[in-house]
Chains A and B, each alone.
Chain A
């Protein structure tokens, strides 16, 4: 079951790399967040406690409901076109994603942490999420897409944390979630303000601001 979720996370990352619509991308990231929220519950189903249940509920609510709502609101208010407008084309992005996936599996097999986690797929898919998130931040023009890339990156770190969730204090997890929330909130406002000042949210034109 955890394997299935992790494979779905890998597929959603590839879908994000090949997707051309901002709205669809936001929904995919939300679905990924919900799946990852359920992951710790399923991974530690034998030792289910309030700790895991609260963490899962918090993650699902935040990543599945609040973030998409904030991002859709930013999209609506910024009145941007719905195209992603990539620097790197969709097909090239998918091919780069596949290369990154292969690299993550190669690296994941070599990291010494591979023994603690519930599934052997966990570390590679976490690494892949991190790489895919970084790529999305670098290779897309829209500021909203960079928020999405950041979220995918955070999802990767979260996946990594699931393996060692039993040892992580609850407070740290909550702190990470809160950080992500504040980041998305601030970026949503920033996107709106960038748009109001400059009539667009294309980051490649920000370098012309230098006086």
Chain B
């Protein structure tokens, strides 16, 4: 274990709050506005950490534990996630199962904490979140299974180390389908626009925002940071498939992966600027579509 293997983790911890900033700046550019500062998320986190938290009398310890367990799960998952060609700090066979499990744990405690407030509004958001994630998880797992089958590797780090130009030339359609499925999963899991609108505070449209309305102060800072880490990790997952080049030099690889990550943030910003949010009834069709696309990729790989 050398110093380089700590760098993907350090980058994830320090730079992930920058991603929403880049997305917001892209959207502001499309709307012709100046937009908030790139570092706004860091300012928000700092401000929230200074504040005290307010707890309703109806809540129990679950409500207080929710954000902490969510952050802990996100930090553990960040240990497993490689950045481009740079292997993660921890890598063992089938670690992608643990990764998906940690994402599930994070979501479970967000949902339970939302239900703990006893507010019917938060219960509605929790119900939507659980419904949609039940549809995205098959897509995520089938896409990962396709990658395992394609590369013959069982760990995220070695899997993404294996994806090369030759893979794209030989089975480009399969990898293209996997990338499409993972992109939809990324947008849905991070409550970005075709599924959820991160800007609105309207009862009819919210999914993720609803569930965290009652959290305040440091708890809300934890939640914001966890969301940024989740965006970073799912972005890294997508990037591992998209970036087939290995520069040979770990520093060059890191630079390329970082460039790819912020490029991805710009792409998400463009998607949010040119698309409208889908009707809530159509969202399941989109997510099932992602699952179907991933399944087609798996069938093509298995043949």
Answer yes or no: do A and B interact: yes
A interface residues with partner B (beta carbon < 8 Å): 3-4, 7, 10-11, 14, 18, 90-91, 94-95, 97-98, 101-102, 105, 109, 120-121, 124
Q: Is the interface of B mostly helix, strand, loop or mixed?
A: helix
Q: Are B296 and A91 in contact (CB under 8 A)?
A: no
Residue of A nearest to B296 (CB): A10
The smallest C-beta distance from B206 to any residue of chain A, in angstroms, reads 24
- Cβ contacts under 8 Å, A7 to chain B: 173, 177, 296, 300
The smallest C-beta distance from B149 to any residue of chain A, in angstroms, reads 14
26 pairs, A vs B, C-beta closer than 8 Å: A3-B172, A4-B172, A7-B177, A7-B296, A7-B300, A10-B296, A11-B296, A14-B289, A14-B292, A14-B296, A18-B289, A18-B292, A90-B285, A91-B284, A91-B285, A94-B288, A94-B292, A98-B292, A98-B295, A98-B296, A98-B299, A101-B296, A102-B299, A105-B299, A105-B303, A120-B303
Residue of B nearest to A97 (CB): B292
- Cβ contacts under 8 Å, B296 to chain A: 7, 10-11, 14, 98, 101
Q: Is B265 an interface residue (CB 8 A)?
A: no
Q: Is the interface of A mostly helix, strand, loop or mixed?
A: helix
The smallest C-beta distance from B295 to any residue of chain A, in angstroms, reads 5
The smallest C-beta distance from A95 to any residue of chain B, in angstroms, reads 8
Complex Cα–Cα for A120 and B302 (A): 13
Q: Are B293 and A101 in contact (CB under 8 A)?
A: no
Complex Cα–Cα for A105 and B288 (A): 21
- Cβ contacts under 8 Å, B172 to chain A: 3-4
Q: Which 8 A-B residue pairs are closest in the complex by CB-CB distance? A: A7-B173, A105-B303, A91-B288, A98-B295, A94-B292, A4-B173, A14-B292, A105-B299
Residue of B nearest to A124 (CB): B303
B interface residues with partner A (beta carbon < 8 Å): 172-173, 177, 284-285, 288-289, 292-293, 295-296, 299-300, 302-303
The smallest C-beta distance from B136 to any residue of chain A, in angstroms, reads 14
B299 partner, pick from A18, A90, A101, A120, beta carbons under 8 A: A101
The smallest C-beta distance from A135 to any residue of chain B, in angstroms, reads 14
Residue of B nearest to A106 (CB): B303
Give the residue among B177, B295, B302 with the most A Cβ atoms within 10 A. Answer: B295
- On whether A94 and B303 interact (CB within 8 A), knowing A7-B177, A101-B296, the answer reads no
The smallest C-beta distance from B122 to any residue of chain A, in angstroms, reads 27
Q: Are B289 and A109 in contact (CB under 8 A)?
A: no
Residue of B nearest to A4 (CB): B173
Complex Cα–Cα for A188 and B284 (A): 34
The smallest C-beta distance from A21 to any residue of chain B, in angstroms, reads 12
Complex Cα–Cα for A4 and B284 (A): 27
- Cβ contacts under 8 Å, A14 to chain B: 289, 292-293, 296
10 more CB-based (< 8 A) A-B contacts, given A94-B288, A101-B299: A7-B177, A10-B296, A18-B292, A90-B285, A91-B288, A94-B292, A98-B292, A98-B296, A101-B296, A124-B303
The smallest C-beta distance from A115 to any residue of chain B, in angstroms, reads 15
Complex Cα–Cα for A102 and B292 (A): 12
- Cβ contacts under 8 Å, A124 to chain B: 303
- Cβ contacts under 8 Å, B299 to chain A: 98, 101-102, 105
Complex Cα–Cα for A4 and B173 (A): 6
Residue of B nearest to A10 (CB): B296
Q: Are B177 and A94 in contact (CB under 8 A)?
A: no
Complex Cα–Cα for A3 and B172 (A): 9
The smallest C-beta distance from A18 to any residue of chain B, in angstroms, reads 6
Complex Cα–Cα for A101 and B301 (A): 13
- Cβ contacts under 8 Å, A97 to chain B: 292
The smallest C-beta distance from A99 to any residue of chain B, in angstroms, reads 10
Residue of B nearest to A98 (CB): B295
Residue of B nearest to A3 (CB): B173
Complex Cα–Cα for A18 and B160 (A): 32
- Cβ contacts under 8 Å, A120 to chain B: 303
- Cβ contacts under 8 Å, B303 to chain A: 105, 109, 120, 124
